[in-house]
Amino acid sequence: MAYALPEAWVWDFWVVDDGSRYHLFFLYASRALHDPEARHFRASIGHAVSDDLTSWERVEDALVRGDGPAFDDLATWTGCTLQGPDGTWFTFYTGATLTPAGNVQSIGLATSDDLLTWHKQGQVLEADPRWYEKLSDGQWHDEAFRDPFVYRDGDQWRMLITARANHGPADDRGVIGTAVSSDLRSWTLEPPLSEPGQGFGQLEVMEVVSLEGREHLVFNCLASDLSDAHRSTGTTGGVWITPTTSGPRPWVPSEATLLTGHDLYVGRVVKHRGTDDAVFMAFENFGPDGEFGGRITDPVPVRVEGGTVTLVREALVTTA
C-alpha cells in the first residue's frame, strides 16, 4: 500500500526519525493542474507520520512558497531535515523563483521545535560563479542549485547540493556541489566534490548512506539528463549508487551503478530504528497507463552481497 493522495500528485520526499515516529516530508501538487509536468511550479511540502514506514497519517503541511519577491516565491522543492545539537529541528529546502530568463534555485532554511510548526529563516546559499554554473551562462534550462542533503562530516556539517560546474560540455556539467557549517546556520560554499565530464547533466537528490560499514552516495538521474555519450549506451537512468572511494575525491559519479530503472525515482535508503536494517523507498514515476505515477512506494529491503548493493525487487510492488 503506497503513500498516495487522491487529490494530488506526490513525488520527491525525505524521511526523518524523531526516536518515536517516522516523519515523511514530500512534494505535492493538485491534480487539478491536469498536466503532471506543471506540478513543479506548484509544489508545496507536505508532512505525514508513521510508526512503521508503511501506514502514514497526514498532518499539517510543513512549507509553502513565499510571498514575492522572494527566493522561494515560485515553489518549495526538495530538501532534508535533521536535529541540531540544541534540539532544534532544521529543514534545508530548495527555493525556486521564476525570472525573465528562467528558473533560479537556491537553498533556504526553516526551523522547528517540534517538527510540526516550521518558521522560515531565509536563504542561506546560492550558486557562486567561481565554481558553479549560473543561468546567465546559457548552458542549461535552469539555474540548477537545489536538493540539499546535510550530514555530519568530522567536526563540521556538510551539505551536498545538486549543481552544475561552470565549465565543460553543456550536457556533462553535473557535479556534487558542497558547503560546510559549524552551526547549521551560517554556511560557506566550497568547490564541488566531483569533476564535470562524469556522464551526468545533473545529479539530483543526493544522500550519503552507510551500508554494512561502508558509505555510499545515492543520487538520481533520468536518461533525459544524462550526457549524450552516456545516454547512447541505452540506459534509462533512474536511482544510482556508488561507494565512497579512498581517492582524492569521495565519490566518482561515472562509477555509479543503477539501483532501479526509470520506473522509480528519488530513491531513499532508510534505516529501521535501532537496527542496521536498511530499506528502500522511491516515488512511482510511471503508473499502469504509462503516465506519471505520483505516489510513494512501501519500503523494500536493501541487500548487500560482496560489496554490491541491490534491492529485494520481488518485494517491490508498484503499479507499473
Q: What is the pLDDT of residues 78-124, one digit of tens each?
A: 999 999 999 999 999 999 999 999 999 999 999 999 999 999 999 99
Is residue 2 assigned to a domain? no
Nine-digit cell string for 97: 523563483
Closest CA to 281 of 93, 50, 112: 50
The total of other beta-carbon atoms located within 10 Å of residue 320's CB is: 15
Domain coverage including residue 24: 8-315
Cα dihedral sign for 264, 195, 82, 120? negative
319: pLDDT strictly greater than 50: no
Radius of gyration (C-alpha) of the chain in whole angstroms: 18
Q: What is the pLDDT of residue 276?
A: 80
What CATH number has the domain bearing residue 302? 2.115.10.20
pLDDT per position as a tens digit, 228-273: 999 999 999 999 999 999 878 899 999 999 999 999 999 999 998 8
Cα distance between residue 95 and residue 156, in whole Å: 24
> Which has the higher per-residue pLDDT, 213 or 191?
191
Quick check: helix, strand or coil at residue 128? Answer: coil
Residue pair 97/39 in contact (Cβ under 8 Å)? The answer is: no
Give 119: exposed, middle or buried? Use CB within 10 Å, 0-12, 13-18, 19+.
exposed
Q: What is the pTM of this model?
A: 0.96
Cα distance between residue 273 and residue 72, in whole Å: 33
**Structural domain total, the chain:** 1
Which amino acid does the sequence have at 296? Answer: I
Is residue 75 assigned to a domain? yes
Query: What is the arrangement of strands in the sheet containing 237-243, beginning at the earlier edge strand?
Result: 204-211, 214-222, 237-243, 257-258
Is residue 45 assigned to a domain? yes
Which helix or strand (DSSP H or E) is residue 231 part of?
A: helix 228-231
Is residue 93 assigned to a domain? yes
Is residue 152 assigned to a domain? yes
Q: What is the pLDDT of residue 84?
A: 98
Nine-digit cell string for 102: 528562467
Q: What is the pLDDT of residue 287?
A: 78
Intra-chain end-to-end CA distance of the chain, in Å? 14
Does a cis peptide bond (omega within 30 degrees of 0) precede residue 69? Answer: yes
Confidence class of residue 317 from pLDDT cuts 50, 70 and 90? very low
Residue pair 70/64 in contact (Cβ under 8 Å)? The answer is: no
- Looking at the chain, the whole-number percentage of residues with pLDDT higher than 90 is 90
318: pLDDT strictly greater than 50: no
Query: What is the arrangement of strands in the sheet containing 264-271, beginning at the earlier edge strand?
Result: 264-271, 278-284, 300-305, 308-311
pLDDT per position as a tens digit, 291-303: 999 999 999 999 9
Distance from CA of residue 273 to its chain's centroid?
21
Is residue 189 assigned to a domain? yes
Contacts of residue 186, Cβ cutoff 8 Å, sequence gap at least 6: 124
Residue pair 238/222 in contact (Cβ under 8 Å)? The answer is: yes
Is residue 3 assigned to a domain? no
Which amino acid does the sequence have at 8? Answer: A
Distance from CA of residue 319 to its chain's centroid?
23
Q: What is the pLDDT of residue 314?
A: 57
Nine-digit cell string for 182: 559549524
Closest CA to 151 of 211, 208, 204: 208
Q: What is the pLDDT of residue 289?
A: 82
Residue pair 93/77 in contact (Cβ under 8 Å)? The answer is: yes
Is residue 249 assigned to a domain? yes
Q: State the pairing for strand pair 145-153/119-125.
A: unpaired
pLDDT per position as a tens digit, 206-233: 999 999 999 999 999 999 999 999 999 9
